[in-house]
């Protein structure tokens, strides 16, 4: 399928890893999308050795056996492929699962929350590992080994994303995350609560024992917005999908008059999007 080791890495392994990382950055969760892409990346990274003459066979070469994340990856791949295991660091496929992490931050207006996604690996000893961190370590191990053999010379160094405090995304401080599900199919999602200690610069866990959390799942609302150019009289009309917070505000409205006023208030925010849709390719009018 692939011509040589570099092609195998650049056209199979690296895209699988990048697809998983990009999925974690999205603000949509559900239907095991992140877990599925994590599985694809794990399989590609682990089985790469079978395509390399200098990495095949047992016992593993030192650079593989000396990488604890690669050793763990073998157990991850085994439960993905074969189901529950009596040995190894991971006991069952269900011990690898998606998590929505909600972190509390503080700004001048008070507490606000930020959501992000992880795929967690729970080990047999009850400790947990972040799959992205494990796969990243294995990827870097492979890159180092390839380069030591004079390969991947044109591969640019991968940039490490600097950690920064996310800004408030909504006026209320609510964390935004869209959820998708199939009707009639079980919806299974894990959540973790934590807070950022601005004094120490570290994240601290929030004990959820005895707490009751409630949330609603609903289909986002589409609103119809119309704008008029005061000089030409030209009208631009279109529908836009409201954000989670706007949808909640819209659902509280009780009269058509309130809904029309709310839709009019959205025009400035969605003006650029509607204008972009209204421009025909090749039309140079301003």
- Mean pLDDT check: name the lowest of 68-77, 123-132, 211-220: 211-220
Give yes or no: residues 242 and 183 share one domain. no
Last residue of a domain, one of 205, 233, 262: 205
Give yes or no: residues 273 and 141 share one domain. no
Last residue of a domain, one of 143, 178, 205: 205
Q: Is residue 67 in a domain? A: yes
What confidence tier does 72 reach under pLDDT thresholds 50, 70, 90?
A: very high
Give yes or no: residues 177 and 41 share one domain. yes
SS (H, E, C) 70-102: HHHHHHHHHHHHHCCCCCCCCCCHHHEEEEEEE
Give the chain's end-to-end CA distance (angstroms, integer): 50
Please tell me the predicted confidence (pLDDT) of residue 188.
86
Q: What pTM did the predictor assign? A: 0.79
Q: Is residue 284 in a domain? A: no
Sheet with 202-205, edge to edge strand ranges: 128-130, 110-122, 96-107, 190-197, 202-205
> With contact defined as beta carbons under 8 Å apart, do 30 and 189 qualify?
yes
Give yes or no: residues 130 and 34 share one domain. yes
Give yes or no: residues 121 and 226 share one domain. no
Give yes or no: residues 11 and 141 share one domain. yes
SS (H, E, C) 10-42: HHHHHHHHHHHHHHHHCCEEECCHHHHHHHHHH
- Which among 96-100, 220-224, 254-258, 280-284 has the top mean pLDDT? 96-100
Give yes or no: residues 53 and 134 share one domain. yes
User: Which residue segment(s) compose the domain that 183 sits in?
Assistant: 5-159+167-205
> With contact defined as beta carbons under 8 Å apart, do 139 and 78 qualify?
no
The pLDDT tens digits of the residues spanning 212-252 come to: 877 766 677 787 777 777 777 777 777 888 877 788 788 88
If one counts the domains in the chain, the total is 2
Q: Is residue 217 in a domain? A: no
Give yes or no: residues 84 and 25 share one domain. yes
Q: Is residue 37 in a domain? A: yes
The pLDDT tens digits of the residues spanning 10-67 come to: 999 999 999 999 999 999 999 999 999 999 999 999 999 999 999 999 899 999 999 9
Q: Is residue 216 in a domain? A: no
Q: Is residue 215 in a domain? A: no
Give yes or no: residues 144 and 253 share one domain. no
Give yes or no: residues 179 and 92 share one domain. yes
């Amino acid at each position: 399928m692939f011509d040589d080791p570099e092609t195998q890495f650049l056209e199979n392994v690296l895209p699988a890893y990048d697809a998983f990382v990009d999925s974690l950055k999205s603000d949509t969760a559900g239907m095991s999308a992140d877990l599925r892409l994590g599985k694809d990346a794990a399989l590609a990274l682990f089985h790469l050795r079978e395509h390399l003459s200098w990495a095949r066979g047992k016992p593993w070469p030192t650079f593989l056996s000396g990488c604890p994340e690669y050793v763990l990856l073998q157990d991850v791949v085994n439960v993905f492929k074969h189901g529950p295991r009596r040995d190894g660091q991971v006991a069952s496929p269900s011990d690898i699962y998606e998590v929505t992490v909600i972190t509390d931050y503080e700004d001048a207006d008070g507490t606000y929350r930020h959501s992000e996604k992880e795929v967690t690996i729970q080990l047999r000893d009850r400790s947990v590992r972040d799959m992205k961190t494990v796969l990243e370590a294995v990827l870097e191990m492979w890159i180092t080994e390839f380069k030591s053999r004079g390969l991947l010379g044109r591969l640019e160094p991968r940039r490490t994303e600097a950690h920064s405090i996310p800004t408030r995304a909504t006026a209320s401080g609510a964390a935004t995350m869209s959820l998708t599900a199939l009707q009639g199919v079980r919806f299974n999602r894990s959540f973790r609560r934590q807070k950022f200690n601005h004094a120490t610069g570290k994240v601290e866990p929030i004990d959820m024992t005895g707490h009751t959390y409630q949330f609603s799942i609903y289909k986002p609302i589409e609103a119809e917005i119309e704008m008029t150019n005061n000089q030409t009289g030209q009208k631009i009309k279109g529908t836009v999908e409201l954000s989670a917070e706007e949808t909640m505000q819209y659902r509280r409205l009780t009269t058509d008059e309130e809904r029309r006023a709310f839709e009019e208030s959205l025009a400035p925010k969605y003006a650029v999007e509607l204008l972009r849709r209204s421009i025909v390719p090749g039309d140079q009018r301003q």
